[in-house]
Structures are given as C-alpha cells and as structure tokens.
C-alpha cells in the first residue's frame, strides 16, 4: 500500500509532509502495542462494545448508500457493509461462541492469503520471491495465533485485529515517510530497466491537455470526453471455441475451451493524445497444458522477443474489439509520454514478469501519479491524504497489486486494478451526498408535477345542497 499511496499522491506532495507522516506512524504503532498488550491477559480495557456499535453503525450506513455506487463500487460497498455488520454482531453477541467464530474467520483469512502467497511465489519465482515467501510465513504465524486459544481463550480477538491494523498501518506510514524524505522522483513508476528521472518534466506529449478543474465527477467519462482508456480482452471473451467455465480461474488466469486450447486474454492502454501501449510476443507462445506450467516462471530463460502494436484500430481489426474498457479523466500525459519513451526501448516479453498486463499496469501508474493530490489543487492540505485512506477502493487496489506482484499480472487483475484506480483518480461523491441529491431532485420534480397538475385541472365549484346557504367565510 506504501507504493500505491506514493503513486496517487506523488512524491512532491508527500515530501513536504514527511514529518507528519512519521509522527502518525509512531503514534499508530504505540497504540497498537498498547492495545495488543492489554488483550493478552483477557481483562480488556479496550472499549469493545462502543467499538462494535461504531462498526455496526458504519456497516448499516454503508449498506444504506451502497445502491448509489456504480459497478464494482456498488459491490464493494455491499461486501464492506455486510462484513462490518456480521463482525459487529458477533462482538455484541459476545461470549465464547462469538469470540471463537471471529477468531476462526480471521485466522482462516490470514491462512488462505499466506498460503496463496507462498505457493504463487514458489511457482512463479519472480525476482523477490523469497521476500514474498517470508511475508506469507508471517501471515501463517498470525493465523496460528488466532486459531489457538492461548493466552486469553479468544476474548481479545477484536483487540488483536485492531492492534495489528494499527501496527502495520503505522509501519507503512514510517516507511512512506522515510522513502519520500530525500526522494527526487517516484520509483514506484520507474521502469525496471531505466533509472527514475527527477521532476515532472520530460518529453512533450503529442497534444497538450488542461488539468481538471473539478474535485469530483458523478460517473465515468462520457464518450466525447478526452480520457485515458484501459482496454481489456478477457480470456472468456477472446476464446475461439466455447470455453469450459471455471469459477475465478477463467476470470483471472485463463480460459480453456473444449479442445484444450488456453486463452489468457490481453490488455492495452490508449490515451487521448495518441499514445497506445500494447505489448505482445513477436512469435506466438505455445500454451498447451503440458508447457504452460514451465513458461509460468518469471525467469530469464522464458524471455522472448516482443513487439508493440501500433494503435487500437489496427489491433482490434486484426483480432477483435476489447471486451471491457475503463476510462479515466485525471491523468498526466507528460508522465505517460516519458514512461512510454523509456519503456518502449526494450521489447522483451515474459509471460509472467513482463507481459501485456504488467505493461499496462505500469503505464497506468505513471499516468495517474499525483492524481489524488492534483485534483484538489495546491491548497488541498491533508485532505487528499485523508480522502484516499478513507476510500475503500484504495484497499481493493492494494490487494490486487499485491496479488499481481506475488503471482503475475493478468487481464482480469488489470481490469480490477484499473476500475479501483479510476475511482481514486476521478473521485466520486460520497454515498450520503449522492443519496441526498437524488432525494432533493425527486422532491423538486414531484413539486413541479403537482404544480402542473393543479394548473391544468379544471376549476369547478361544487354546488351547495338544496336548502343550505353557502357560507361567505
């Protein structure tokens, strides 16, 4: 998550606030240690019931406004709301049963994530796979800690989770402050084979484009708006023969048709200024089931010559139109052009380490670097930092990036990553604000309709009954 925050806020923004980040990190670690130590003896001073009530209120609030989201944002809000409500309910139920269920849930989450990270690092063998395996083993140790009842018989489960969250969050803030303190450029967007270049100057983009002057947009860009477009050809959508549906596998890895042929999909990036980035192997790689496990390794012996497609029109005509598109308004064409000029010098292709999806992910990060700070202008203060930390899509983007870094970038992961980053680069109004606007708009239209009905209705005065005088008021 540290690198993702560096990308979204930019080094220039963070460098001026490194002292505040360091102080927040130290305070967060101190609070985490205190809460963890408090829970060890089972006699909690941590306000568990008020915390559960706040968690339940947040979950109910999220569910109430989840319908105002769009696409993946709506799904994310429903998942977040249900998770918070279930967790809060188990805490409020209390007793051994509620604490035990919570411990099993958290332990299983850490176990699955750690095991998946270890297995993928062992199979893919990318350059930092040993470090990833160490991180996976740490997650397994945390899972064991949640599973076993010592020392408090599951009474401190929630306090442990809060403590771990504060500790790791504080550690990430300290790392972030240390990295940006003396940094001249953002290494998070530098290519693998070229050193980072300082500043934001560089090659002039093919066309100038003004930076956005608004702070939020209610929805994705319209067709006529200039925007950065991420094209994704999904494995299922590009399969020549009807694929055998496999849950999750054909969404994020590959689709296998009835004849046994494997389709992995494709990803490309296109800017309004004419930059088109689409890396493909110069010679088609054999992807039979027997060879697929061998070429999954991100080693030098699996490097093959690659080529960059000239433009989307040529590629879509030779193959087929992209099946999914994600469009982003708030990007910097200068940074994208500079990245492209450096990256295109090397045409090496590797199925897991340097493929079409990893290329698009790096180009996307280069294009939106500093987007969250830029959208609020120079007077944003700490608002951009607080805003992205409280946006659920940051967590989603961080998890997708982590999974791709420990396994491999695939078109499915690139699609999810681009969708999450689009909501961070192009901020959407909060659910409560959007719901209030919809309510006010509905009330206004209703009043207009009632007024029109009153004006068009015939004015007929009812006659008084026989023998009864009409009153004059």
pLDDT in tens, 446-462: 777 777 777 776 655 55
Report how far residue 344's alpha carbon sits from residue 113's, in angstroms, rounded to the nearest whole number: 35
CB 99 within 8 A of CB 157: yes
Window from 78-92, 129-143, 236-250, 299-313 with minimum mean pLDDT: 236-250
The predicted-structure confidence for 360-418, as pLDDT tens digits, reads as follows 999 999 999 888 888 776 556 787 888 887 777 787 888 888 888 777 788 888 998 99
Q: Which of 394, 387, 412 has the alpha carbon at shortest distance from 3?
A: 394
Window from 31-40, 259-268, 334-343, 435-444 with minimum mean pLDDT: 435-444
Residue whose entry in the numeric block shows the structure tokens 């040529």: 314
pLDDT classification of 294: cutoffs 50, 70, 90 = low
Better-scored residue on pLDDT, 122 or 472:
122
Distances, alpha carbon 21 to alpha carbons 18, 170, 175, in Å: 5, 9, 9
| Mean pLDDT over each residue of the chain, to the nearest integer | 78
pLDDT classification of 201: cutoffs 50, 70, 90 = very low
pLDDT at 301 over 60: yes
Report how far residue 112's alpha carbon sits from residue 96's, in angstroms, rounded to the nearest whole number: 24
- SS3 category, 30: helix
- SS3 category, 230: strand
What percent of the chain clears pLDDT 70, i.e. is strictly above it? 74
pLDDT at 348 over 80: yes
- SS3 category, 87: helix
pLDDT classification of 207: cutoffs 50, 70, 90 = very low
Check residue 207 and report its DSSP letter: S
Report how far residue 469's alpha carbon sits from residue 452's, in angstroms, rounded to the nearest whole number: 33
Predicted TM-score (pTM) of this structure: 0.75
pLDDT classification of 215: cutoffs 50, 70, 90 = low
Order the strands of the 279-281 sheet from edge to edge.
Answer: 279-281, 304-308, 348-349
Window from 55-59, 307-311, 368-372, 386-390 with minimum mean pLDDT: 386-390
* Strand partners for 255: 263
pLDDT at 280 over 70: yes
Report how far residue 377's alpha carbon sits from residue 210's, in angstroms, rounded to the nearest whole number: 13
Better-scored residue on pLDDT, 190 or 32:
32
Report how far residue 458's alpha carbon sits from residue 441's, in angstroms, rounded to the nearest whole number: 28
CB 220 within 8 A of CB 427: no
Report how far residue 384's alpha carbon sits from residue 112's, in angstroms, rounded to the nearest whole number: 33
CB 267 within 8 A of CB 357: yes
Q: Which of 427, 420, 431, 399 has the alpha carbon at shortest distance from 60?
A: 431
Report how far residue 8's alpha carbon sits from residue 1's, in angstroms, rounded to the nearest whole number: 11
Q: pLDDT value at position 196?
A: 42
pLDDT at 128 over 80: no
Report how far residue 401's alpha carbon sits from residue 79's, in angstroms, rounded to the nearest whole number: 19
Angular region, 46: left φ>0, alpha ψ -120 to 50, beta rest: beta
Crossing angle, helix 411-425 and helix 72-93, to 10 degrees?
A: 90
């Amino acid at each position: 998550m540290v690198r993702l925050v560096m990308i979204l806020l930019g080094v220039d923004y963070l460098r001026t606030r490194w002292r505040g980040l360091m102080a927040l990190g130290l305070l967060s670690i101190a609070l985490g240690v205190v809460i963890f130590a408090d829970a060890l003896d089972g006699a909690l001073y941590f306000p568990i019931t008020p915390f559960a009530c706040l968690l339940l209120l947040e979950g109910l609030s999220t569910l109430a406004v989840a319908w105002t989201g769009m696409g993946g944002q709506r799904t994310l809000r429903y998942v977040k709301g249900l998770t918070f409500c279930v967790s809060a309910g188990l805490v409020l139920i209390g007793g051994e049963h509620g604490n035990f269920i919570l411990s099993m849930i958290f332990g299983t989450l850490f176990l699955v994530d750690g095991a998946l990270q270890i297995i993928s690092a062992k199979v893919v063998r990318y350059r930092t796979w040993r470090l990833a395996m160490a991180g996976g083993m740490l997650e397994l140790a945390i899972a064991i800690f949640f599973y076993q009842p010592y020392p408090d018989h599951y009474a401190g489960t929630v306090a442990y989770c809060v403590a771990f969250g504060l500790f790791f969050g504080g550690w990430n803030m300290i790392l972030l402050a240390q990295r940006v303190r003396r940094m001249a450029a953002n290494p998070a967007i530098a290519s693998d084979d070229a050193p980072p270049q300082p500043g934001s100057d560089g090659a002039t983009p093919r066309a100038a484009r003004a930076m956005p002057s608004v702070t939020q947009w209610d929805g994705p860009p319209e067709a006529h708006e200039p925007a950065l477009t991420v094209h994704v050809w999904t494995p299922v959508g590009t399969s020549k023969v009807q694929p055998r549906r496999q849950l999750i596998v054909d969404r994020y890895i590959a689709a296998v048709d009835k004849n046994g042929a494997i389709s992995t999909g494709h990803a490309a990036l296109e800017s309004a200024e004419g930059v088109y980035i689409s890396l493909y192997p110069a010679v088609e790689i054999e992807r039979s089931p027997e060879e697929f496990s061998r070429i999954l390794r991100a080693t030098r012996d699996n490097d093959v010559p690659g080529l960059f497609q000239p433009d989307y029109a040529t590629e879509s005509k030779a193959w087929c139109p992209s099946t999914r598109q994600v469009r982003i308004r708030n990007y910097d064409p200068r940074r994208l052009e500079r990245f492209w000029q450096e990256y295109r010098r090397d045409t090496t292709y590797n199925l897991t380490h340097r493929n079409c999806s990893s290329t698009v992910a790096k180009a996307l990060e280069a294009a939106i670097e500093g987007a969250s700070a830029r959208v609020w202008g120079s007077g944003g203060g700490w608002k951009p930092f607080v805003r992205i930390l409280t946006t659920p899509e940051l967590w989603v983007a961080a998890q997708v990036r982590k999974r791709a870094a420990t396994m491999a970038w695939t078109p499915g992961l690139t699609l999810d990553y681009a969708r999450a980053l689009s909501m961070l680069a192009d901020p959407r109004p909060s659910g409560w604000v959007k719901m209030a606007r919809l309510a006010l708009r509905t009330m206004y239209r209703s009043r207009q309709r009632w007024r029109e009905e009153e004006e068009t209705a015939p004015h007929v005065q009812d006659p008084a009954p026989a023998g009864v005088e009409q009153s004059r008021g």
